[in-house]
Amino acid sequence: MKERRIENTQSRTADMTCGCRAASWLEKRPAFKSGDWVAPLLLPRKIQVLFKVPPFRRMLTKVFGPEGVYEWVIARTKYFDDVFERALADGCVQVLIIGAGFDSRAIRFKTEDRGVTVFELDAPTTQEVKLQQYKARGIASPPNVRFVAINFEKESVNEKLVKNGFRRGTKTLVVAEGVLQYLKPEAALATLGTINELTGTGSWLVFDYAHASVLRGEGDAYGERRMAQGVRKLGESWQFGLDEREIKPLLLKYSFRLKDLKGPRALEELYFKGQDGKLLGRINGTQSIVFAERTSKTAPQRRSIRKTSRPANPVKTSKRGAVTVRGRK
């Protein structure tokens, strides 16, 4: 079987997201500033210098992707940061970051001081680049972080995690940022099944997903056409999407209950609304965020996700098992 690009080349969407986070950290506009101070350090030295020049930085944010992508990454980063911090305060003793990319929350939220073990799961290529950048920039990786490199095509996620000290059935925060939309439907559902098997009662799950309407090509969301073209051009096309009415049944099937659902408009109101009530930024309208909590009992099996979640022309990305990751952070 021919290996997917993500298994032998670092994720391009991971690079793009890191660039957005870096630009956001350097922002002077409060609504656009997020807290990832590590992201700028991971950029090449020349780019770091250029990013400190406001006109150049603003120009780059316009070319990072389709309309509203910069604002989407900022809002998603802020939301996931908030859930991460709240989960630690709520007593989660493990964090599992699926497809970690250049995620820096283990460092930024001082997880070592809180007695939390963080498992960063990713393909070897992207993970190796991240660790090389940490070393080159003098960023110390906390000893409580387990970097679990995995070939998603050939290896078992459960086995890999347990071998690295993951405790099944423990209260855990699971972060899947920029993951599910890149999977084939069967692999996305298998990923949720794996999370069900690994986590204990009271665990938290936060993920983002693509709207099924985008995969159907309806073309009426802000920035939709360029977003679909952009991820396809990167070779990391979306293959899994959901309609909002499918969220609750899907979560219940895997023993989770919905705590919060934020679409683009709700995120704009939360993060980009000025004191005068005017919106300061518009978010790309193709994705939403789900926050859920693990229930104590396994729910009965529900109907499967409708086949409309599958795009008409899926591109690349396959998986024979519990989890697979394509483009991301």
**Is 317 a member of any domain?**
no
**Is 99 a member of any domain?**
yes
For residue 154, give its domain range. Answer: 5-309
What is the C-alpha separation between 95 and 174, in angstroms, rounded? 6
Give the pLDDT of residue 88. 95
Backbone phi, psi, residue 251, to 5°: -65, -45
The CATH number for 68's domain is 3.40.50.150
**Is 261 a member of any domain?**
yes
What is the C-alpha separation between 308 and 253, in angstroms, rounded? 19
- CA nearest neighbour of 286 among 198, 236, 234, 218: 218
- For 76, the 3-state DSSP assignment is helix
- Condensed to tens digits (0 to 9), the pLDDT of residues 107-146 reads 999 999 999 999 999 989 889 999 999 999 999 999 999 9
- Condensed to tens digits (0 to 9), the pLDDT of residues 179-222 reads 999 888 988 998 999 999 999 999 999 999 999 999 998 878 99
**Is 328 a member of any domain?**
no
What is the C-alpha separation between 274 and 281, in angstroms, rounded? 9
Percent of the chain with pLDDT over 90: 61
**Is 315 a member of any domain?**
no
Where residue 238 falls among pLDDT bands split at 50, 70, 90? Answer: confident
**Is 325 a member of any domain?**
no
**Is 97 a member of any domain?**
yes
What is the C-alpha separation between 177 and 101, in angstroms, rounded? 9
**Is 319 a member of any domain?**
no
Query: Number of folded domains in the chain?
Result: 1
Q: Which residues contact 151 (CB under 8 A, 6 or more apart)?
A: 3, 7, 123, 124
Where residue 164 falls among pLDDT bands split at 50, 70, 90? Answer: very high
